Amino acid sequence: MNKPTVTTTNHQIVIVGGGAGGIATAASLLKRDPTLDVAIIEPKDVHYYQPGWTMIGGGIFEPSQTRRAMAEVMPAGALWIRAAVAEFLPESNQLALESGERIGYQILIAAPGIKLDWDRVEGLTDTLGKNGVTSNYRFDLAPYTWKLVQELRQGTALFSQPPMPIKCAGAPQKALYLSCSQWLKLGRLSNIKVAFHNAGGALFGVADYVPALMEYMNKYNAELCFNQNLVAVDGPAQKAWFEVTDEQGQKTRLERRFDMLHVCPPQVAPDFVRNSPLANAEGWIDVNPENLQHNHFDNIFALGDATSTPNAKTAAAVRKQAPVVAENVLSVLKQQPLKAHYDGYGSCPLTVEHGKIVLAEFGYGGRLLPTFAKIWLNGLKATRRAWFLKASLLPWVYFNLMLKGREWLAKSQPNPK
């Protein structure tokens, strides 16, 4: 019997994922050299500006402000292959699509994002979007967060944060601040018990920002519960269970009733990444943190949430990573040494109240790297200017600069060493 034939199409540069990282890198490459043959493999027909979902949950943005047709954000000159990648085959410079088709490449850039692992919390999937259980981590649920905030007059509101790494590590507490800010404004906060259940042991990973954030936790009278990981939810009974780890490492279970529960889901590398030769022991794409080249395959680069780099997983990081990958890919094509260097920049605009933000900007090792903060505002304090940046400027920067290869405040730097 004849074997079924496998069609293979080849491209000079193949990008996996048409999210923030894939589109920004394709645009940066084509800006440098419009003659490049760039194909982007992306199954979805909608592209989301995910940083805006916190603002939907806080009643500031309309959902439509955060979504675009995928065709609209595809850079001119890039070929969109509307398909999902099933397998990386780096030994043969190929990818297998879910359809069985193969795509060959000279250079591969992987930007497939992170997997939201809702099923890791028992009972959660069934109750999302009802019984007071919500999450700004899903486009369709963020409006429900705002609905719950408006409707809640008294009772208990819980906000959960899973173990790191997660995308936008500040997003779980941003949901808390914006909810409390609204309840305070409506005069209801004194009737609502608020708690932040964090699987980690600190309010924020970079200590310099903690004092400004603590001011707001105190102002909102929020109970801080560290080393408490959400493990199960019973929606109809409105009960949540947290695994509590004490100083000796002993684990116990805590049951809490709620009227509103905002969940940040556990997050892991996508399965097709985790089970591939590209992954490190934890499942992330194993790249050099400074030049974003794969540690074993010289013609593979990666950026965004799926990589092993220890930066904050944010679109802000991607804004800086995309030009680095574009520069270094061109160097590989020209058989020159890699020049561009990524310093680990990431940013988290912490929406501490309606109208004010603490703009955290930092690189590898928690080193403060103010860019907006340096030219324009004090990043260690809540300011109105930072709110203007997040609410008005950054969505425009994302769609009109970053996704178009215009590298404002994001030019790649040579390696300082």
For every residue of 61-128, DSSP letters joined together read S-GGGGEEEHHHHSPTTEEEE---EEEEEGGGTEEEETTS-EEEEEEEEE----EE-GGGSBTHHHHT
Least CB distance to ligand FAD at residue 112 (A) = 4
Nearest residue (CB) to ligand FAD, 110 versus 241: 110
**Comparing C-alpha atoms, which of 24, 35, 71 is closest to residue 408?**
24
Peptide bond preceding 165 in cis form (omega within 30 of 0): yes
Least CB distance to ligand FAD at residue 171 (A) = 4
Residue in 180, 225, 264, 348 annotated catalytic: 348
Spatial distance between the Cα atoms of 212 and 380, rounded to a whole number of angstroms: 7
Least CB distance to ligand FAD at residue 163 (A) = 16
Residue with tokens 């369709």: 140
- Which residue lies nearest ligand FAD, judged by its C-beta? 19
CB-based contact 134:178 (threshold 8 Å) = no
Task: Give the residues lining the site for ligand FAD (CB under 6 A).
Answer: 16-22, 41-44, 50-51, 53-54, 84-85, 111-113, 136-137, 167-168, 171, 270, 272, 304-306, 313-316, 318, 347, 349
| Beta partners for residue 350, in sequence order | 358
> Which amino acid is located at 53 in the chain?
W
Q: Which phi and psi angles does 226 have, rounded to 5°?
A: -90, 160
168 is catalytic: yes
Nearest residue (CB) to ligand FAD, 127 versus 347: 347
Least CB distance to ligand FAD at residue 293 (A) = 17
Pairing of strands 115-116, 133-134: unpaired
Strands (E) in 337-415, as ranges, are 340-341, 346-353, 356-362, 382-383, 413-414
Nearest residue (CB) to ligand FAD, 17 versus 235: 17
Query: Which helix (H) or strand (E) element contains residue 317?
Result: helix 315-333
225 is catalytic: no
Number of Cβ within 10 Å of residue 357's Cβ equals 26
Least CB distance to ligand FAD at residue 85 (A) = 4
Least CB distance to ligand FAD at residue 36 (A) = 19
| Beta partners for residue 226, in sequence order | 198
3-state secondary structure of 41: strand
Nearest residue (CB) to ligand FAD, 134 versus 136: 136
Query: Which helix (H) or strand (E) element contains residue 156?
Result: strand 155-161
3-state secondary structure of 239: strand
Pairing of strands 260-262, 155-161: parallel
Nearest residue (CB) to ligand FAD, 43 versus 104: 43
Spatial distance between the Cα atoms of 73 and 34, rounded to a whole number of angstroms: 17
> Which amino acid is located at 303 in the chain?
L
Quote the DSSP letter at residue 190. G
Nearest residue (CB) to ligand FAD, 182 versus 351: 351
**Comparing C-alpha atoms, which of 176, 185, 257 is closest to residue 224?**
176
Least CB distance to ligand FAD at residue 298 (A) = 22
Residue in 168, 180, 225, 264 annotated catalytic: 168
Nearest residue (CB) to ligand FAD, 155 versus 205: 205
Nearest residue (CB) to ligand FAD, 290 versus 305: 305
Least CB distance to ligand FAD at residue 356 (A) = 15
Catalytic residues: 168, 348
